[in-house]
Amino acid sequence: MPDTDLSDDPDSIELADTRTAWAEDRTVLANERTFAGWMRTGMACIALALGLKAVFKDTDYPVLARSVAEVFIFAALLIFWSAVFKCRKAQRRMKDHDVEAQSYRYMTFLACVLTLGALATGVILWLL
Amino acid 62 reads: P
Question: Does 75 reside within a domain?
Answer: yes
Question: Does 74 reside within a domain?
Answer: yes
> For position 103, what pLDDT does the model report?
82
Percent of the chain having pLDDT more than 70?
Answer: 76
Domain assignment of residue 82, given as a range = 9-127
If one counts the domains in the chain, the total is: 1
- 81 vs 76: CA distance, rounded Å: 9
- 2 vs 17: CA distance, rounded Å: 25
Q: pLDDT confidence of 7, banded at 50, 70, 90?
A: low
**Cβ neighbours of 65 (radius 10 Å):** 18
3 state SS of 48: helix
Query: Mind listing the pLDDT tens digit for each residue in 84-103?
Result: 999 888 878 776 666 676 78
> HSE-up of 50 (CA within 13 Å, CB side)?
13
